[in-house]
A and B are shown apart, each in its own frame.
Chain A
Amino acid sequence: TQLLEQSPQFLSIQEGENLTVYCNSSSVFSSLQWYRQEPGEGPVLLVTVVTGGEVKKLKRLTFQFGDARKDSSLHITAAQTGDTGLYLCAGAGEDYKLSFGAGTTVTVRA
């Protein structure tokens, strides 16, 4: 059983459309991270959210941390083909360990 549940598992959209990926847990995390992983490479950190209710924007990407610090969402506006990849959320407890979700595979079609 995954500590963090991501949905949807797969997402295929047309370039220019918007998309949202969700990350949910019954556990409280001190912080939550989002990564993107491309084939043959390791995950690359996109953002870390720390405060409940926090919203962070990185260009076309908007990340939100739930008020109770149990869930998060990633919203991409006007998706581009370069956004294609596996998106992973990871929650950090009070120690150094990260608990990862299973990931959402996003495909943006030209």
Chain B
Amino acid sequence: GAGVSQSPSNKVTEKGKDVELRCDPISGHTALYWYRQSLGQGLEFLIYFQGNSAPDKSGLPSDRFSAERTGGSVSTLTIQRTQQEDSAVYLCASSLVGGYTQYFGPGTRLTVL
């Protein structure tokens, strides 16, 4: 498809387990962003990748969160030892370059029991 895709669309896990969320950005987009959206809250910035530059990880809430972007394309957000407060919708967006219009994927709804 032409848009940003994310998988899985829904993920239910038990507290303490690790999860991996995947994002496929729009082809040719060099910038990729991860956000978290909790109920009643706006989107919270997590991490930003731009080309081969070091990622901006300033929004990651704890060291249990990490992300990679392989080959400048697909990105994986990993949450280790999940906690109930990690339950949220995780959104990925990409843009041609940083600062340009961001196009969002449908998100992954994570539920930690």
- Do these two chains interact? yes
Q: List chain A positions with a Cβ less than 8 A from chain B.
A: 2, 4, 6, 9, 40-45, 48, 88, 90, 92, 95-103
**Is residue B51 contacting chain A, with contact meaning CB distance below 8 A?**
no
**Is residue B79 contacting chain A, with contact meaning CB distance below 8 A?**
no
For chains A and B in complex, what number of residue pairs have CB atoms within 8 angstroms?
A: 53
The interface size bin for chain B is 20 to 34
Dominant secondary structure of chain A at its interface with chain B: loop
Chain B contacts of A6 at CB under 8 A?
Answer: 42
Flag if B106 contacts A41 (CB, 8 Å).
yes
Of B31, B42, B98, B107, which contacts A42 at CB under 8 A? B107
Flag if B45 contacts A48 (CB, 8 Å).
no
CB pairs A–B below 8 angstroms (26 shown): A6-B42, A9-B40, A40-B107, A41-B106, A42-B4, A42-B107, A43-B104, A44-B104, A45-B101, A48-B101, A95-B98, A95-B99, A96-B31, A96-B50, A96-B98, A96-B99, A97-B56, A98-B43, A98-B102, A99-B42, A99-B45, A100-B43, A100-B44, A102-B40, A102-B41, A102-B42
**Is residue B77 contacting chain A, with contact meaning CB distance below 8 A?**
no
